[in-house]
Amino acid sequence: MSEHIVVTAANFETEVLKSPVPVLLDFWASWCGPCRMIGPFIEQLAGEYSGRLKVGKVNVDEEGTLASRHGVVSIPTLIVYKNGKIANQAVGALPKQNIEALFKDLI
């Protein structure tokens, strides 16, 4: 059961910029090994923080413009938004606790 939302250029403003809770965006691609490695962590965190954190996934192959607007040059890239602004970000496959540390203080 998936707890994340698919973020696109069409729903970015509503789902991310206007979100009442912090948003963890995962910029990924299906062919990316490190993205697949952290995928289960992202899903677990989405479930654990449901209602307090929104988790969105951005497929860079389908949403190249959105990835480009965020300066994504390497994936996975994780960006945390709070109150419509970037609050934190990281690049690369991280352990679950490091991903959690990106947003835990913002909740």
Active site residue 32: yes
Alpha carbon dihedral 64, 28, 100, 71, in 10-degree steps, equals -30
Give 78-89 pLDDT, tens digit per residue: 999 999 999 999
User: Quick check: is 90 catalytic?
Assistant: no
| Closest C-alpha among 47, 13, 11, 43 to residue 26 | 43
From the candidates 7, 32, 38, 102, which is the catalytic residue? 32
Q: Is residue 24 helix, strand or coil?
A: strand
For residue 1, pLDDT over 50 is answered with no
Region 24-47: what's the mean pLDDT? Answer: 96
pLDDT of 2? 56
State percent of the chain over pLDDT 70. Answer: 98
> Is the confidence at residue 29, as pLDDT, over 90?
yes
pLDDT at 17 over 90: yes
Q: What is the pLDDT of residue 85?
A: 97
Q: Does domain 5-106 have CATH number 3.40.30.10?
A: yes
Task: Give pLDDT, residue 62.
Answer: 97
Residue 32 has pLDDT above 90, yes or no: yes
Q: How far apart are CA 83 and CA 23, in angstroms?
A: 9
Please give the average per-residue pLDDT across 32-38, as a whole number.
Answer: 97
| Global confidence as pTM | 0.95
Q: Which of 7, 16, 24, 35 is catalytic?
A: 35
Strands 77-82 and 54-59: unpaired
Domain ranges of the chain: 5-106
